[in-house]
Amino acid sequence: MANLNINIGKLQLKNPVMTASGTFGYGTEFSDFMDLSRIGGTTIRERQGNPYPRMAETPSGMLNAVGLQNKGVDYFINKIYPSIKDIDTNIIVNVSGSTVEDYVETAEKLNSLEKIPAIELNISCPNVKEGGMAFGTSCPSAAQVVREVRRVYKNEMIVKLSPNVTDISEIARAVEGEGADSVSLINTLLGMAINAEKRKPVLSTITGGLSGPAVKPIALRMVWQVSNAVKIPVIGLGGIMNATDAIEFMLAGATAIQIGTANFIDPTVSVKVVDGINEYLDKHGFKHVSELIGALEI
């Protein structure tokens, strides 16, 4: 059995498999199905509560318009944190905001939570007006958020990038330059669904975020581009459904991966991915999972 330990900067993972923000609740929703301590980490939202409705199934994917309206970081710290802090895996909090101050304030508060080793700055959510995506689609604004948060946040800072851009490497380099410890990509692609019979958009917000296997080829390409452009670790995600997909992301250059939409179809998928990576490593004679990172032969 190969060694699956992976470090992302200061963050030590028992294996490279994490779950993606917005798709794994607080983890507890999945505890009937799997042992949470078997995965490398889970990314949860600091803000949760009363989001907007609606999703639409699409070919090999889904659109969501969940948005980020919710009870805020204080609610998270007081009500949620106590009940999840002893889950034996890395808990990464996904942070969003509509102003730079939002991000900074939230990051500062989370900095003091002992059992939260990392935050993931979501500058890429397509579902909120001024709610992040605008920050992630231009270098100066992405750089600014990261710079300000870096001043107050001392633990591992992951920056989650938007795929809705012309040149994602450029944005990645910009946030690296401001002190991001690692980047994760991709967030959802901006999409739309229409009900032809009713002649109306399916989503209340008209457009929403596309995820699932449909986007995997795009995610894989971006992970490959970004990992060739920056020196910090890259966390890959977008449409991962099984261990083979996860391995493809690592070969493209990802140090770790996250699983989102697939959790809905198989709530135990993340542990299956851990097992599958293990089998692959054994079969191909690798001793350590890190041997896969960027091991694509061109």
Partner 1 sequence: MYLSLYLIDTQYNIYSMKKFILDLIVKKNVLLSNQYSLIILTSSEKLPEILPGQFAEVRVDGSNTTFLRRPISIHYVDYETNELWLLIQVIGDGTKRMAEVKVGETMNIILPLGNTFASPTRKDAKLMLIGGGCGVAPLLFLGAYFKREGYEVNFLLGARSEADILQKSEYERFGNVYITTEDGSLGEKGFVTQHSVLKGSNFDYIYTCGPTPMMKAVASYALKTNAVCEVSLENTMACGIGACLCCVTDTVDGHVCVCTEGPVFNITKLKWQI
Ligand X SMILES: Cc1cc2nc3c(=O)[nH]c(=O)nc-3n(C[C@H](O)[C@H](O)[C@H](O)COP(=O)(O)O)c2cc1C
Enumerate the active-site residues.
125
**Per-residue interface string for the shown chain with its own copies, residues 144-173, x marking contact by CB under 8 A:** --------------------xxx-------
Q: Which C-beta is closer to its own copies: that of 81 or that of 224?
A: 224
At CA 213, angle to CA 212 and CA 215, rounded to 5?
A: 80
> Scanning residues 31 to 70, which ones bind its own copies (CB under 8 A)?
56, 58-61, 63
Number of residues in contact with ligand X under rule CB under 6 A: 24
Q: Return d(Cα 188, Cα 164) in angstroms, integer.
A: 8
- Binding residue for its own copies, selected from 149, 210, 257, 269, defined by CB under 8 A: 210
Q: Considering only residues 16, 224, 240, 258, which one is a binding residue for its own copies as defined by CB under 8 A? A: 224
Query: Sign of the C-alpha dihedral, residues 70, 83, 22, 119?
Result: positive
125 binds, among partner 1, ligand X, its own copies, none (CB under 5 to 8 A by kind): ligand X
Element (H, E) at 272: helix 269-283
216-229 vs 243-252: helix crossing angle, rounded to 10 = 30
Residue 45 and residue 84 in contact, taking contact as beta carbons nearer than 8 Å:
no
Q: Which two tokens stand for residue 6?
A: 């992976």
Task: Supply the minimum distance, in Å, between the C-beta of residue 247 and ligand X.
Answer: 15
Closest CA to 226 of 268, 185, 179: 185
List the single partner that 128 binds among its own copies, partner 1, ligand X, none, CB under 5 to 8 Å by kind: none
Contacted entry of its own copies, ligand X, partner 1, none for residue 254, CB cut-off 5 to 8 Å set by kind: none
Q: In the complex with ligand X, which residue's Cβ is closer, 99 or 282?
A: 99
Rule CB under 8 A: which residues touch partner 1?
Answer: 22-25, 29-30, 32-33, 48-62, 64, 66, 212-213, 261, 263-268
189 lies in the site for its own copies, by CB under 8 A: yes
CB 228 within 8 A of CB 170: no
Contact 125, 64 (CB under 8 A): no
Minimum distance of partner 1 from residue 27's CB (angstroms): 9
From residue 118, give the alpha-carbon distance in Å to each of 53, 69, 179, 180, 298: 29, 22, 14, 11, 33
With contact defined as beta carbons under 8 Å apart, do 116 and 91 qualify?
Answer: yes
- Residues in contact with ligand X by CB under 6 A are 20-23, 45, 64, 66, 94, 122, 125, 160, 187-188, 211-212, 215, 237-240, 259-262
